[in-house]
Amino acid sequence: EADIYQTPRYLVIGTGKKITLECSQTMGHDKMYWYQQDPGMELHLIHYSYGVNSTEKGDLSSESTVSRIRTEHFPLTLESARPSHTSQYLCASSLYTEAFFGQGTRLTVV
Amino acid sequence: KNEVEQSPQNLTAQEGEFITINCSYSVGISALHWLQQHPGGGIVSLFMLSSGKKKHGRLIATINIQEKHSSLHITASHPRDSAVYICAVRADSGAGSYQLTFGKGTKLSVIP
């Protein structure tokens, strides 16, 4: 069973608030990813990291930022949440080619 | 045009039916994943393929590299198989080789 965890699972927050979505994995994977998924749509890569102190933006432009200070931890931050940020955010990690996914965070900005 | 196309988009089946979901892609790949996403949103990796065929329980996945096509089959379908099934590919070279490109998914509903 994959050991990758996301918190919170669900979050409803007001416009303008700063939020951090947590993602942790205990598998020692170097590569970690954040995906955004709107209802009924495909997943889009918004950030990825190949290791500590390495972060890159993905295919889909996002106002969020990420950090990778520790191998096991890859938090995503929105400095000022807006209704357009309402979506599902999925975190994943991989060692070689197989990917493991977290349960996702469903974010609603009101 | 998405690099990964799945069909059908929606599928309703009676319990016990044999189900096939198709995935076509347009780029060279090093691996193809079949993923299962339940209504709560969590994703489980079902298969990772680079050639041939894999079987796990009632699930079978095949891939034809020359035709750039993969199929996911479910035998003796059950209501608990109801989920969205997503095809994802990993490019075979370049900066994209560590990243997955996803299809839009196939929503499967199995009726008792």
CB-based contact, A31 to chain B, within 8 Å: yes
CB atoms A97 and B41 under 8 Å: no
Mean pLDDT of chain B: 90
Record the tokens describing residue B52, joined without a space.
């041939």
Distance from CA of B64 to the nearest CA of A (A): 19
- The answer to whether A97 contacts B42, with C-beta atoms less than 8 Å apart, is no
Task: Confirm if A66 and A3 have CB atoms less than 8 A apart.
Answer: no
Tokens of B106: 């196939």
Please give the pLDDT value at position B44. 87
Adjacent-strand bridge partners of B87: B34
Our CA-based measurement puts residue B35 at a distance from the nearest CA of chain A, in whole angstroms, of: 10
Flag if A42 and B100 touch (Cβ within 8 Å). no
DSSP, res A83: G
For residue A45 the two structure tokens come to 């890569």
What's CA B93's distance to the chain center, in Å?
A: 22
Q: What is the pLDDT of residues B41-80, one digit of tens each?
A: 778 889 999 899 999 999 999 999 999 999 999 999 999 9
A41: helix, strand or coil: coil
d(CA B67, CA A32) in angstroms, rounded, equals 31
Structural contact between residues A76 and A23, judged by C-beta atoms closer than 8 angstroms: yes
From B107's Cα to the closest Cα of chain A, the distance in A is 9
